[in-house]
Structure 1
Amino acid sequence: MKRIALIGECMIELNGAPFSDMHQIYGGDSLNTAVYLARSAGKSAEINYVSALGCDAISDGMIARWQQEGVSTDLVLRDSSRQPGLYLIQLDDQGERTFLYWRNQSAARYMLQHPDFTKMADNLTKMDMVYLSGISLAILPKEDRQQLIGLLQLLARTGVEILFDTNYRPALWASAEQARECYQQVFSFTALALVTNDDEASLWDDSNEEETLERLKAAGVRQAVVKMGAKGNYHEDFTTQTRTFVATTPVKQVVDTTSAGDSFNAGFMAGLINGKSPVKCSEQGHLLAGTVIQHKGAIIPAQAMAQIQFNKQEPALCEH
């Protein structure tokens, strides 16, 4: 059984129109991926979430629900002086999103300053893979961010595979230059980068997917996936110089694109864990994302995924 840790922040999600009907749940890019990965990987992996929450009733409720999903919360710190952050999603007629956030004093933002963080971080040396996103880095104070990057680099040196979704959100960074500098540090020890073409164009001025792949290769990434929304994705193994393109199956009715990239990552990682080829990993990612975007909210009901069956092993191993 593979042991996977996902680092980040989960917040309270309000979904709806201001001063009208609101649906309350929870979400956050790395937590979304953790839940979908736990549902998809089955008994082939132990999924651990790494974060901090408060000691309030909402935090208790989140913990209980993650455990019900099969996500281990042993590495979730509890902070008696802070609570979870909050965000509001508003959707247009095409299912595209706009966000409002209240997270500056969230427990997750200050998790590296928690007195038990060092003890918790020791457990990461026991993992096979550690996953994080650009948001996982961006929410942290600058010194804490550098501390986390140093920890990840040390883990990579000991054989832990680092998986990184850049997930660039300009509003969370002091400048684009600051984000690029942090990303470059992480790329240098990343086993698998999962990036989105729009984000890469915004941050790096990449004009096409090939330019993105070449830049990631030069930065030290071993494998990369470039997600292109409805078009599909590229995967490249830079160690074998093997590149593949996998198209998506069109989705007739898009309800909510929240978690499209997060769920793709989970489907791809579930394939990786189960020894599937890059093409099969990509197909799983598209299948899961295509299901998720037909429902509202970051985390769709488990029964909506009941028809997805893709966690059997293949004889050929997926390079990683």
Structure 2
Amino acid sequence: MKRIALIGECMIELNGAPFGDMQQTYGGDSLNTAVYLARTASQTAHIEYVSALGNDTISEGMLQRWQQEGVGTELVLRDSSRQPGLYLIQLDEQGERTFLYWRNQSAARYMLQHPDFARIAEQLTKMDMVYLSGISLAILPHKDRQQLIDLLGQLANAGVEILFDSNYRPALWDSAEQARECYRQIFAVTSLALVTNDDEANLWGDSSEEITLERLKFAGVKKAVVKMGAKGNYFEDFTTETRTFVATTPVKDVIDTTSAGDSFNAGFMAGLLTGKSPAMCSEQGHQLAGTVIQHKGAIIPADVMAHIQFTNEQTALSEQS
């Protein structure tokens, strides 16, 4: 059974209208992926989440719910002086979202300064894969961020596959150049990059998916997925120079696009862990994301996913060059 660790921050989520109806739950890009991956690949992979929480009742409640989802929590540190961060999601009539955050003093932001983080770093050497996002990096203080990048380089040199979703959020970085420099270092040790065309355009000025793929190739990435929302995605294996395009099935009733990319990543990775083709992995990603965006919140109820049946049939439309 493969072992995969996902690094990041989970926050308390408030979803609704300010001073109106509000639903409280939890979410965070890497945690969302961990939950959806546990729901779809628990028979083929052992999934651990790497983060830090407080000792408060909300932290304890979150931890218990992750365990119920099948997400391992042995690598979640507890910080008695801090609590989880908080964010508010506001949705427009088209289901697009805007966020407000309160996370500067969150426990996850300071996890590398935790006295027990050396144990976490040692456990990561035993993983087959380590997954993180641009947000996982951006929330950290500058010195800690570089420490994590250096650790990832050591893991890659030891044979651990690094999976990276660039997930660029400008407000979390001092400058675009700071983000680009961190990403350059990460891409150099990345086995699989999972990026979004809008983010790449915003950060790098890419005018097409083809330009993004060429840039990732020269950055040192071995394989890459470029997500294009409702259009579909490209996958390219730079070691074999094989490129695949997979279209999505249109979704009529889009309610909330929160976690669309996170759930796609989980579906793709679930296929990857079972040795499926890039086209089938992509199809699984689209199928899962297409279900998630028809419901509110970052993490939809598990029973809503009961109808999803991943198969081995190559139903994705693809073209190779």
Listed one character per residue, the Cα deviations across residues 43-64 of structure 1 (whole Å, up to 9, x for unaligned) are 1000000000000000000000
Are positions 1:79 and 2:79 aligned together? yes
- Structure 2 unmatched ranges of 5 or more: 315-321
| 1:133-144 map, 5 Å | 133-144=133-144
Give 2:96's aligned amino acid: E
Please give the alpha-carbon distance, in whole angstroms, between the structure 1 residues aligned to 2:81 and 2:106: 10
Question: TM (normalized to structure 2)?
Answer: 0.97
Listed one character per residue, the Cα deviations across residues 62-100 of structure 1 (whole Å, up to 9, x for unaligned) are 000000000000000000000000000000000000000
Percent identity over paired residues: 81
- The residue number in structure 1 matching 2:319 is none
When residues 311 and 78 of structure 1 are mapped into structure 2, their CA distance, relative to the original with a 3 A threshold, is farther
Single out whichever of 291-300 and 36-45 deviates more from structure 2.
Answer: 36-45
Please give the alpha-carbon distance, in whole angstroms, between the structure 2 residues aligned to 1:201 and 1:312: 34
| 1:161-172 map, 5 Å | 161-172=161-172
Please give the alpha-carbon distance, in whole angstroms, between the structure 2 residues aligned to 1:92 and 1:156: 41
- The residue number in structure 2 matching 1:241 is 241
Give 1:85's aligned amino acid: G
* 8 A Cα contact 2:280 2:312, kept in partner: no
Give 2:2's aligned amino acid: K
- The residue number in structure 1 matching 2:317 is none
- The residue number in structure 2 matching 1:7 is 7
| 1:101-250 map, 5 Å | 101-250=101-250
Please give the alpha-carbon distance, in whole angstroms, between the structure 2 residues aligned to 1:147 and 1:309: 40
Please give the alpha-carbon distance, in whole angstroms, between the structure 1 residues aligned to 2:170 and 2:248: 28
* 8 A Cα contact 2:7 2:130, kept in partner: yes
Question: TM (normalized to structure 1)?
Answer: 0.97
Residue 74 of structure 2 aligns to a residue whose secondary structure is coil
Residue 155 of structure 1 aligns to a residue whose secondary structure is helix
* 8 A Cα contact 1:275 1:313, kept in partner: no
Listed one character per residue, the Cα deviations across residues 153-190 of structure 1 (whole Å, up to 9, x for unaligned) are 00000000000000000000000000000000000010
* 8 A Cα contact 2:216 2:224, kept in partner: yes
Give 1:255's aligned amino acid: I
* 8 A Cα contact 1:40 1:311, kept in partner: no
Residue 296 of structure 1 aligns to a residue whose secondary structure is coil
* 8 A Cα contact 1:12 1:86, kept in partner: yes
Please give the alpha-carbon distance, in whole angstroms, between the structure 2 residues aligned to 1:253 and 1:311: 24
Residue 100 of structure 2 aligns to a residue whose secondary structure is strand
Residue 42 of structure 2 aligns to a residue whose secondary structure is helix
* 8 A Cα contact 2:111 2:117, kept in partner: yes
Residue 299 of structure 1 aligns to a residue whose secondary structure is coil
* 8 A Cα contact 2:52 2:108, kept in partner: yes
Please tell me the root mean square deviation across aligned C-alpha atoms, in Å: 1.0
Residue 264 of structure 2 aligns to a residue whose secondary structure is helix
Compute the displacement of 1:309 (Å): 1.8
When residues 57 and 313 of structure 1 are mapped into structure 2, their CA distance, relative to the original with a 3 A threshold, is farther
Compute the displacement of 1:121 (Å): 1.2
Please give the alpha-carbon distance, in whole angstroms, between the structure 2 residues aligned to 1:42 and 1:147: 30
Please give the alpha-carbon distance, in whole angstroms, between the structure 1 residues aligned to 2:217 and 2:59: 40
Compute the displacement of 1:311 (Å): 6.9
Please give the alpha-carbon distance, in whole angstroms, between the structure 2 residues aligned to 1:42 and 1:53: 24
Please give the alpha-carbon distance, in whole angstroms, between the structure 1 residues aligned to 2:65 and 2:251: 29
| 1:235-274 map, 5 Å | 235-274=235-274
